[in-house]
Structure 1
């Protein structure tokens, strides 16, 4: 059951984490508008922490200043831009990884769906979540349809890990 949820024991990932790819992971971060501290490089809080602590940080409410609103089909929707989600992930889970799993066009060619996986690496385990994003190929907004679907899938996969999840149910609170 645990494997079906994307949870694996740390022993199974020691090769990945000790390999050359691990040396490419960032060891410092800059706030750049996400916090009130000076823009000096400071060590991240996420390196070398158990998965439960990383998830606890990701599940905190995102500041209102990071939330944007757009109107789609007459409905107002709150969301966190993908680049802000990326910065938050780098801050709280600096050893995360993400990958596009598939890009699929509908049979009629009117929509494109991207499946995306986000993996978190803790000192004791790793966990992943996947989600999809679908957009119209005729959408005239900024960016191409695949970029939009990927950004949507990325944000949703991060939400499945807790990041910004409060936006999905704040009306019920």
Structure 2
């Protein structure tokens, strides 16, 4: 059975994600791409994953280079659009990490995760890049959210955290994996 790519994309759009800009340095200049395919992978070693369309310039820039994942704030939709190909009137401000071997980051982001290259993998029409976290910081605020092809804001916070009451929560004292 052949899967219709447009129908699949519409289905996948029902999964809400945060919005990030993955940044790197190439040819002596900072570059970035808006990416919502980002996830934590491991705490030991500390690894994160980003997935980029293999036909984009940004994908070619990431090969064996440090990168920074910039988690955008809810008011940074203009920054997301800038790095998706709709340039802002005034370019976003850049910051250097404390370690000069790491990639530049965007000023004003909700969080930044600076990574050294770990591995890359074939992901069909995308390349999956794993980065080893070397430096990170986070600030208060709400993230920019992407859902059904548009930017959204978070809703109200639930009073309880469901996984803390789960029998599968590794933080519970009685939890011992077999």
User: What is the TM-score when the length of structure 2 is the normalising length?
Assistant: 0.24
User: What is the TM-score when the length of structure 1 is the normalising length?
Assistant: 0.25
Pick the structure with more helix per residue: 1
Pick the structure with more strand per residue: 2
